[in-house]
Amino acid sequence: MVDYTAGAARKQIPSEDFADENEIQTLLDAGVIITDERRRRPFYFDGRFLAARDLTNEQNYFLTRQADLGQAGGTGVVHGLTVRRVRGPYIRIEAGSGVTTSGEMVVLYDTITQLDLSNIAEIQRLNNAFGLSRIPNEPFRTRSGIFTLALRPVEFTANPIGSYPTSITGQRTIEDGDIVEASAITLIPYPDEGARSETSMRRSRIARRIFVERGAKRVPAGVLPLALIAIDRGVVQWVDPYMVRREVGAEHGDILGLGYAPRALREAYLLQYEYQLGELMIERAARGVRFAASEYFYSLPPAGRMPAATIDANEFTQIFFPPAMQVDLSIVPEDEVAALLEDSLLLPPIDLTLNDDEMASTSVMALIPVNRERFLELNQKLNNLKRDLRPAAPGMVARRAPLEALRILNPALLAMPTETNPGDDEWRKLLSEVPMLWYIRRRNLSYRAEVTGTYVPTFVDEVKMEKAVRALIKKEGLQSIFTQFEQKTTLRGKADAFALLSQRRFQTKAMLVATLRQFQEELKRVKIIDSAAVWRVAEHFANTGAGTGVTRLERSHPELLRNQEFVKTLMESDQLPEIDRHARNLSEDELHDFARKLKASHRTRGRERKPAAVKEDVKVETPPPAEPPAEEETKKSPEPPEAVEMRPNASDEVRKEKEGGERVAEKRGRRARKRAAKKTERGKK
């Protein structure tokens, strides 16, 4: 049995089993024992003459083993090493590390903020040494083309020391005493048959070759590719960090041997498309983002984003995908987008170079992400969660069916009135709210695109739930407001409202106030609160963590919401969601200061300030200065004039509130002077 704690875990031969050394040679000749010529280390024993080559061979042995172990874990970028374009011939490389295809480690400990590619003299010298340069080669100032930016492990000798003579007649010399390992940045020409005038389209052509045709990255062995760079007469045109960059462990086999691309290759395609689309959106910002994908891409990943402007909301036509493809529009909960992207990675990319007959079997779903509450509301409003999108170029002869061609011979009839879908307005509203959509390639299976499953109601103790809600409303003193709400609500809407208010996050007075405030806003829009109005109110509090900030504020300072005048002011304003979002991420000290600010800003001579002043105070996220000048505060009006003019007896109110504001300012000035005096005393001590 091998003892792994006593040394090497290899069985040494010859042993008692192989007493005759000739037997080892026999096994070698028979191919039973296989040797690795790269891994050979010196055998040390007492009395052996030690030379420099022995120590060098030992170093090479460990370097070889380290490289083999590096290849076992996979090649690629471990972390960092992100390449970004700066300006002109400059690029930026983040610090990081990676493993080359030969298993060597390359490391950048510091970020290279500005790498001047025009300083090509040293890079040319390295490329000549590595055999990476083209012959003949043109100077960098006139160079144009596609290049791969890569890191190559190199080493050099340094730090000279004295060398003692090795013979009686020898003399002392100076030799380098250290071998320094480093990483060299190299530019490798990428072989591409595209013309120099179409640099942007060459980028899409290379992406199709790598991700669709699964062609090689065309980089020499022993280097770590980081990015693909397009250079036009010495100026960097674009930098694509995802075309040739792969994360460590990326070069795995396909799925179950069925010929699928490795997962890392599919993920890299999605990231590369997203990066190129972002640059394209910035470039076309002034001209508009309504364009066809075939104008800039030769292929698309099976899932990604697309501009919402490529869909005409009036005619429900799309221009992004080829006309031969079936494209539908649908909605999806925003928390399910990641799962859909994960599922679509198993599908092949969308090749835009195919003909119409080959594209006819490809179908795509354009998705509008919404939150859960909005999704359930639209599920009730819309008869179908899928909307067909016609191509923007109708009447194409190539897509006419034989029956449609025969109908042209019939005499023209009177045009039928256009059928209007009542749900089209909702689709138009959705398209106007989002700038970008998600698209996914659909499987050619017979399945429904609507919500999977059926709605099954869950029965609870409704009497107990209603009593609990009414008891909470009575406890908080909101019966009169809730009674007015009940009188203008349908039976279905009342049931949905009780179900909404019975949730745990609405069990505080602040959230009850905010909810009733939203119901009052709905009553300004509609005469009767129905189920759809309740869903709209629920959507207002649909964000994650809604109510957390107000709950923290109520627990730390309960006197705020015990003040009926302050609660009434909140009811008249629409700033409670902003207060909730602001207080959600504050620390305990910041929350205390924020509550003190609310109390100080909303109280003037025992009267609460009006909603306009509430909104003005909440929008200020930074606290006021610790020592404000009293003279400046006396000049500030505690309330905007437009908010005062809406009330009766505005002149008296202005005078009273102005006097109250002056008193508050005077108190603040006294406090500021006291704090300044204390600081002065502490400074003297």
Out of 411, 441, 471, a domain closes at: 441
Highest mean pLDDT range out of 67-71, 136-140, 302-306, 632-636?
302-306
| Residue type for position 114 | Q
Residues 476 and 610 in one domain: yes
Q: Do 638 and 508 belong together in one domain?
A: no
Which ranges of 49-198 does DSSP label H, i.e. alpha helix? Answer: 52-72, 120-130
Q: How far is CA 309 from CA 294, 331, 421, 429, in A?
A: 16, 17, 21, 13
89 and 58 in a single domain? The answer is no
Cα(425)–Cα(313) distance, integer angstroms = 9
At residue 194, the pLDDT reads: 59
| Average of per-residue pLDDT values in the chain | 73
With tokens 């691309």, the residue in question is 261
Does residue 136 have a cis peptide bond before it, meaning omega lies within 30 degrees of 0?
A: yes
More confident residue, 672 or 9: 672
| 123 within domain boundaries | yes
pLDDT at 102: 84
* Domain-embedded: residue 416: no
- DSSP annotation string for 494-542: HHHHHHHHTSGGG-SHHHHHHHHHHHHHHHHH-SSB-HHHHHHHHHHT-
Q: Is residue 448 in a domain? A: no
Q: Which of 399, 432, 419 is nearest to 312 (CA)?
A: 432
pLDDT at 294: 87
pLDDT tens, position by position, 239-249: 888 888 888 76
One-letter identity of residue 548: T
The reported pLDDT for the residue numbered 422 is: 64
The amino acid at residue 18 is F
What does the pLDDT read at residue 395?
Answer: 43
- The confidence band for 438, taking pLDDT boundaries of 50, 70 and 90, is very high
Query: pLDDT grade, residue 651 (50/70/90)?
Result: very low
Residue 401: inside a domain = no
- Take residue 352 and report the two structure tokens written for it: 């835009």
Predicted pLDDT of residue 615: 43
Q: Check: pTM over 0.75? Answer yes or no.
A: no
Which of 72, 90, 123 is the last residue before a domain boundary?
A: 72
Q: Of 651 and 678, which is predicted with more confidence? A: 678
The total domain count for the chain is: 6
Residues 642 and 517 in one domain: no
Is residue 349 within 8 A of residue 439, CB to CB? The reply is no
Are residues 330 and 432 located together in one domain of the fold?
A: yes
DSSP 477: T
Whether residue 199 lies inside any domain: the answer is yes
pLDDT of residue 114: 84
Most confident of the following: 119-123, 224-228, 341-345? 224-228
439 — pLDDT class (breaks 50, 70, 90)? very high
Q: Which domain holds residue 29?
A: 1-35
- Does residue 304 form part of some domain? yes
Q: Do residues 297 and 429 share a domain?
A: yes
Do residue 100 and residue 245 come from a single domain? yes
Length, in residues, of the chain: 685
Give percent above pLDDT 90 in the chain: 1
Residue 2 shares a structural domain with residue 89? no
Closest CA to 64 of 102, 20, 101, 19: 102
Q: Does residue 163 lie in a domain region?
A: yes
Q: State the CB neighbour count (10 A cutoff) for residue 177.
A: 12
91 and 165 inside one domain: yes
Tell me the range of 224-233, 460-469, 470-479 where mean pLDDT is highest: 224-233
Question: Is residue 131 very low, low, confident or very high in pLDDT (cuts 50, 70, 90)?
Answer: low
At residue 308, φ and ψ (nearest 5 deg) are -70, -20
Q: Give CA–CA dist 226/194, Å, rounded.
A: 22
- What pLDDT shows up at residue 487? 79
Range with lowest mean pLDDT among 104-113, 167-176, 460-469, 598-607: 598-607
At residue 640, does pLDDT exceed 60?
Answer: no
Cα dihedral 129/132/138/143 (nearest 10): -130
Q: So what's the pLDDT on residue 468?
A: 79
Predicted pLDDT at 87: 78
pLDDT digits (tens, 9 = 90+) for 481-523: 777 777 788 888 878 877 777 776 676 666 777 777 777 777 7
- If asked whether residues 384 and 497 sit together in one domain, one would say no
pLDDT, average across residues 399-416:
56
SS3 assignment, position 160:
strand
pLDDT per position as a tens digit, 658-669: 455 556 666 667
Q: Which residue has the higher pLDDT, 297 or 379?
A: 297
648: in domain:
yes
Query: Is 118 in the same domain as 143?
Result: yes
The model's pLDDT over 582-621, given as tens digits with 9 standing for 90+, comes to 777 777 777 777 777 777 665 543 444 444 444 444 444 4
Q: What's the burial of 417, exposed, middle or buried (CB within 10 Å: 0-12/13-18/19+)?
A: exposed
Q: Are residues 307 and 334 in the same domain?
A: yes
Question: Are 106 and 151 spatial neighbours (Cβ–Cβ below 8 Å)?
Answer: yes
Amino acid making up residue 91: I
What's the pLDDT tens digit per position in 563-587? Answer: 666 666 655 556 666 776 677 777 7
Instruction: Show which of 72, 94, 120 is a domain's final residue.
Output: 72
pLDDT at 366 over 70: yes
Q: How far apart are CA 124 and CA 139, in angstroms?
A: 10
